[in-house]
Amino acid sequence: MHRWPRCAPPYPRTLDTGWVSLLLLTSILVGAASAAGGWTAALPAWLWLAAVLAVLARVDLAEHRLPDRVLAIGYLGGAASLTVAALVEDAPGRLVRTGSAGLAAFAGMLGLAVVVAPRLGLGDVKLAGLLGGYLGWLGWEEVITGLAAGFLLGSAMGMWAVIRRRGGWRTEIAFGPALIVGALAVAARHGRV
């Protein structure tokens, strides 16, 4: 009798509780934010961003990288959904500011990575462009404060690692989650998206 080789199933045999808790937390935060701010035409774009950022944060914490495919999904989904929101709200100026802010954040972070902080990864540069674009939907002040908050939080994380003797001054940290938390904190403080 011929036996077929045993193959791994195309799905995990056990459920990864880290992913489940991350998606549950993201759903709760997005639900609370939408309930507080009410429905807007841009809310689907922010929901899209929350899902993309949840995946990026999880991967960056685990592997110290930000996958290009996930970032591309964030850019494409954000561009499409914010364009629709600008058409619904009849606000082409917001869309122009969104694109300009994304480009400015990308260029600024790239310049910083090349000149000052060579340990800053290109994934962080691309993430800054994505976050800058979304924060640009809210305003230029939010772009500056959101990215600055991410840098402050990342610096605090690095200092905390040194203080706890878990690393030195050259220890690499996952910088993406700090940028994400800083940007989302500023967006939440802004209120309606």
- pLDDT tens per residue, range 133-192: 999 999 999 999 999 999 898 888 777 777 776 665 566 678 888 899 899 888 888 766
CA angle 63, 65, 66 (to 5 degrees): 130
Instruction: Look at residue 191 in the predicted model and tell me its pLDDT.
Output: 64
Instruction: Look at residue 7 in the predicted model and tell me its pLDDT.
Output: 46
User: For the whole model, what pTM was predicted?
Assistant: 0.79
Kindly report the length of the chain: 193
CB 132 within 8 A of CB 107: no
- pLDDT tens per residue, range 95-104: 999 999 999 9
Instruction: Look at residue 13 in the predicted model and tell me its pLDDT.
Output: 41
Structure tokens at 126: 């691309």
**Sign (positive/negative) of CA torsion 107, 108, 109, 114?**
positive
- For the ranges 46-55, 76-85, 90-99, 152-161, the lowest mean pLDDT is seen at 152-161
